[in-house]
Amino acid sequence: MERLWGRCAGAEGLFVDPVPPPREVLTLRGCSPDGLLSDVLAGPHAPSRGLGDVCVEVWDDEQPVQWWTLVDAVVVAHQPYPADPARYDIVLGAGVRNEESFFGLPTAPRFELFAGTTTAAASAGRCSAVDGLFEPRADPAPVPMELIGCEPAEPLLAALRRPRRWERDWAHLLVLDRHGAVMTSRTVGLAITGARPSVLGGTLIDITLTDGGDDRPSSAARPIWEKWYQGPPTKPNMWAPYDAQGRADWLDLTTRGWRVPVPRPDRSGGEHTLDGRFVTDVPGLHCAIAEALLGPGRYFGREWNAFKDCLGGGFGVAPPFTLTWHDSEVARRALAGVVEDPQGRLSYFEEIVQLLEQCGVTVVLR
């Protein structure tokens, strides 16, 4: 059961740019490069060319069990793999971040590589080992958050009367727009470093949380949050002026929109019109589809798997229906090189169209 701990006027430290992990040197052993990695090795001056962020999936015999990100990876050197000259040992410089682990390291792991954006990474090859990946690393220092002008409820007052480090407790920080509606929520820890009379005066207090959590937007998202603070979007294509990361930040805010208020029953049938003029990346595609089906600021998935879940019902619209996609050639061209299909046969645009049709949607491309 959720309980109200208090209200505050503002949160300093809500927007935090992540500190990049320290640079390390790793070696991809027995690598069969693909996609961007193959292009980098084939091109001139390969040691000076960057790959961006590279996702490393660690597989057992059946499925991936660990995910790692090599942040801002750069090819330092490469040479033929001694056991097979058709493959390579590739030395990378990168920061290393562990994303998620379901299980421990398999006895005979294999490694799949992906490069590209977080919402549409394409295969970069595979390798038999990654030297340096499983080294111990210190956790980054927590970044505190200041809750300004707090009016604490009893649970928070009790915590302040008996200060201690709350190792396992966490809370939802609900961010309200100017009308008082919930705009989004973020998870924060309840380790309280200190409390003092508020700079806003009166009986209010300012509270320092030891760790504001990992669920915070970057400073680049601030203009988007400020726009949403005025109220939910009411016009189409308000997401269009932003770059791919800005559009991904926009999608973050739509995820609250489908829950508040409680969705109405799914509608089926009829025709929906998609304005495809600004669909130049994967986040833009999902912004445009959600807008076509439900209206501005609504949620209908942010990547392929979530989109598939939404088509199964429970999000306001369910097949069968007709989707007329105007200026579809914009997305077809822009996403031609974005390939998530394991067989490498379909672009992201083609996969989305295929999924729609398989789920009973009539897609008209114009």
Give the model confidence (pLDDT) of 158-179 as tens digits: 888 875 555 557 889 999 999 9
Asked whether the beta carbons of 232 and 297 are under 8 A apart, the reply is yes
pTM greater than 0.85 (yes/no):
no
Q: Please report, rounded to a whole number, the percentage of residues in the chain having pLDDT higher than 90.
A: 69
**pLDDT level of residue 120 (50, 70, 90 thresholds):** low
Q: Cα–Cα distances in Å, from 34 out to 40, 93, 126?
A: 10, 19, 8
- Torsion angle in degrees (nearest 10) through CA of 126, 100, 287, 326: 20
Among candidate residues 29, 30, 71, 31, the one with its CA nearest the CA of residue 50: 71
Closest alpha carbon to 351 in 269, 289, 298, 293: 289
For the chain, percent helix, then strand, then coil, each to nearest 5?
Answer: 25, 35, 40
- Residues facing 70 on adjacent strands: 54, 96
Which ranges of 9-149 would DSSP assign to H, the alpha helix?
35-42
Q: Are 153 and 4 in contact (CB under 8 A)?
A: yes
| CA distances to 99, 247, 257, 264, 318 from 251, in Å | 21, 6, 10, 21, 20
- Domains (range + CATH), the chain: 6-16+140-216 (no CATH), 23-131 (no CATH), 232-365 (3.30.370.10)
The per-residue pLDDT for range 8-67, each reduced to its tens digit, is: 999 999 999 988 899 999 999 999 999 889 988 887 765 567 899 999 999 998 889 999
